[in-house]
Amino acid sequence: MTVEVRIPTILRPYTQGEKTVTGAGDSLGALLADLDSRHAGLRERLVEGDQLRRFVNVYLNDEDVRFLDGLATAVADGDAVTILPAVAGG
Amino acid sequence: MRFDSLLDSVGRTPLIGLPRLSPAADVRLWAKLEDRNPTGSVKDRAALAMIEAAERDGRLTSGCTILEPTSGNTGIALAMAARLKGYALICVMPENTSPERSQLLRMWGADIRYSAAAGGSNEAVRVAKALAAEHPEWVMLYQYGNPANAEAHYRGTGPELLADLPTITHFVAGLGTTGTLMGAGRYLREQVPGVQIVAAEPRYGELVYGLRNLDEGFVPELYDASVLTSRYSVGPRDAVRRMRELLEVEGIFAGISTGAILHAALGMAAKAVRAGERADIAFIVCDGGWKYLSTGAYEGTLDAAEDALDGQLWA
């Protein structure tokens, strides 16, 4: 099972400069733990306690996971996860 | 319809059915044409409400200078109102915005200070806050945290939608300052059990997310996630594709952010069809396409339009 994860510029030091990495896991939390095993320190930048950090947005197939099940959101083969810092509009 | 002045004509915009884009007789899409406001965007509502609230509080008095971080539409709306009411306006705007926005701001007499492209509106907010600290005599209305912004939609947009569409099941709008969704969303949730409040958030090119660290991220003070039922990120390709579809199929000439909102609205419509449920989905047309003609989004291939918008603040 493979899930593609898009990494923002600011976090690429953790992925050896890669824009996209792949990982496995049946939930978003498990996926981030799997990524952290190869990209040490990445998870800590995204997660605090059992929640996503305030200025981090994570989207599963373009939907904000905070409106799904957060870190418990189920992920499946072929899904795409996008990580972005929170920015202003207006 | 007759009004005593241009400012009195803000709001009460038409709600237009989209019979060709609606997927079924009982799953219908409705466009709220906010481009029919005096300066051509939804931001006239918030701009006027913020100015009037500051006047009531005594913060804003004759001859004052207003300062505001804006990617365009709020600044343009403030510039018109400020000119009519006798205030000066300084806008802090990211340099990666369309030239039409600068032209319009200057036309209505605003002074523009450009902030660096990297970091997008976050950087404009940072620069404006620094200027406000240096110039305590200037009045920063601060659309991201000013309750009058959301209030304009709680009192205006929300009730207008419900009056025109009592059977509303979904409200879809763009997420920038969050004012439209917070205000109209709160009103509709109070009045319509089970209504879905859906945010469409523009996903820009990498330049805009070029923060130095994650702690520079920004969540508007007005934002309350509990008002929303879902939130989607929409990239420029889907936004441009839907913006063109709206023009070709229903004849509505809208800006690029409206394409992103329509993309989310059509996603909701498809869900309702799959679930066999009826739906009346109202969405916001934020502005017309006029200000974006120079971006190349309206002609050529989608690939070319996507490339042209990379790094631009298109919403």
User: Helix axis angle, B302-309 relative to B236-250, nearest 10°?
Assistant: 130
Which of A63, A84, A85 is nearest residue B232 as measured by Cβ atoms? A63
Asked if B161 contacts B34 with a C-beta cutoff of 8 angstroms, the reply is: no
B185 and B50, same domain (yes or no):
no
User: Would the CB atoms of A55 and B201 count as touching at under 8 Å?
Assistant: no
Would B252 be classed as within a structural domain? yes
| Residue B287 exposed, middle or buried by CB count within 10 Å (0-12, 13-18, 19+) | buried
B88 and B202, same domain (yes or no):
no
CATH of A3-85, picked from 3.90.640.10, 3.40.50.2300, 1.25.40.10, 3.10.20.30, is: 3.10.20.30
Confidence class for position A90, pLDDT limits 50, 70, 90: low
Closest-approach residue (CA) in chain A for B263 = A62
A85 contacts chain B (CB < 8 A): yes
Please say if B271 is a catalytic residue.
Answer: no
Q: How far apart, in whole angstroms, are the C-alpha atoms of residue B215 and residue B103?
A: 34
Q: How far apart, in whole angstroms, are the C-alpha atoms of residue B74 and residue B23?
A: 34
B30 and B173, same domain (yes or no):
yes
Which of A9, A62, A88 is nearest residue B206 as measured by Cβ atoms? A9
Distance from CA of B176 to the nearest CA of A (A): 4
Would B191 be classed as within a structural domain? yes
Q: Where are the domains of chain A?
A: 3-85
A50 contacts chain B (CB < 8 A): no
Asked if B298 contacts B229 with a C-beta cutoff of 8 angstroms, the reply is: no
B19 and B167, same domain (yes or no):
yes
What integer pLDDT is reported at residue B206 of this predicted model? 87
B297 and B186, same domain (yes or no):
yes
Q: Which of residues B91, B111, B140 is at a domain's end? A: B140
Asked if B215 contacts A55 with a C-beta cutoff of 8 angstroms, the reply is: yes
Residue with tokens 């404006």, as numbered in its chain: B128
B169 and B288, same domain (yes or no):
yes
B169 and B264, same domain (yes or no):
yes
CATH number at residue B50: 3.40.50.1100
What integer pLDDT is reported at residue B208 of this predicted model? 85
Q: Which of residues B140, B173, B196 is at a domain's end? A: B140
B132 and B164, same domain (yes or no):
no
What integer pLDDT is reported at residue B216 of this predicted model? 81
What integer pLDDT is reported at residue B238 of this predicted model? 97
User: Would the CB atoms of B213 and A10 count as touching at under 8 Å?
Assistant: yes
What integer pLDDT is reported at residue B49 of this predicted model? 98
Q: How far apart, in whole angstroms, are the C-alpha atoms of residue A41 and residue A55?
A: 17
Would B312 be classed as within a structural domain? no
B54 and B164, same domain (yes or no):
no
Would B147 be classed as within a structural domain? no
Chain A stretch 59-78, residues whose beta carbon is closer than 8 A to a beta carbon of chain B: 59, 62-64, 66-67
- Give 10-residue mean pLDDT values along chain B (315 residues): 97 98 98 98 98 98 96 95 97 93 95 92 93 97 98 98 98 97 98 98 88 85 98 97 98 98 98 98 98 93 92 86
Distance from CA of B8 to the nearest CA of A (A): 23
Q: Which of B43, B98, B102, B115 is catalytic?
A: B43
Furthest CA-CA distance within chain A = 39
Q: What total number of domains does chain B contain?
A: 2
CA B56 to each of CA B61, B73, B147, B169, B201: distance values in angstroms, whole numbers, following the listed order: 10, 24, 14, 36, 33
Would B53 be classed as within a structural domain? yes
Would B315 be classed as within a structural domain? no
Distance from CA of A56 to the nearest CA of B (A): 7
E strand or H helix at A57: strand A56-60
Q: Which of residues B99, B114, B140 is at a domain's end? A: B140
Residue B88: phi and psi, rounded to 5, are: -90, 155
B159 and B282, same domain (yes or no):
yes
Q: Which of B150, B190, B188 minimizes the C-alpha distance to B169? A: B188
B229 and B95, same domain (yes or no):
no
User: Would the CB atoms of B233 and A82 count as touching at under 8 Å?
Assistant: yes
Would B20 be classed as within a structural domain? yes
| pLDDT reading at A71 higher than 60 | yes
B22 and B125, same domain (yes or no):
no
User: pTM of the prediction?
Assistant: 0.96
Please give the residue range of the domain that contains residue B32: 7-36+154-305
Q: ipTM score of the complex?
A: 0.94
pLDDT digits (tens, 9 = 90+) for B98-136: 899 999 999 999 999 999 988 888 899 999 999 999 999
Classify B199 as helix, strand or coil: strand
What integer pLDDT is reported at residue A1 of this predicted model? 75
Which of A10, A62, A66 is nearest residue B232 as measured by Cβ atoms? A62
Q: Output the six-digit token pair for A58.
A: 């994570």
Which of B174, B214, B234 is nearest residue A85 as measured by Cβ atoms? B214
Q: Which long-range contacts (CB under 8 A, 24 or more apart) does B104-107 make?
A: B104/B39, B104/B72, B104/B76, B104/B79, B104/B291, B105/B72, B105/B75, B105/B76, B105/B79
- Give contacts of A53 with chain B, Cβ < 8 Å: 214
Please say if B257 is a catalytic residue.
Answer: yes
CA B30 to each of CA A45, B174, B264: distance values in angstroms, whole numbers, following the listed order: 41, 15, 13
User: Would the CB atoms of B231 and A82 count as touching at under 8 Å?
Assistant: no
Where helices occur in chain B by DSSP H, the ranges are 43-57, 73-85, 99-107, 120-134, 147-152, 158-164, 179-191, 236-250, 256-275, 302-309
Residue B130: phi and psi, rounded to 5, are: -65, -45
Would B116 be classed as within a structural domain? yes
Distance from CA of B225 to the nearest CA of A (A): 9
Tell me the count of A-B CB pairs closer than 8 A. 100
- Give contacts of B215 with chain A, Cβ < 8 Å: 55
User: Would the CB atoms of A88 and B229 count as touching at under 8 Å?
Assistant: no
Q: Which of B125, B145, B150, B176 minimizes the C-alpha distance to B46? A: B150
What integer pLDDT is reported at residue B214 of this predicted model? 83
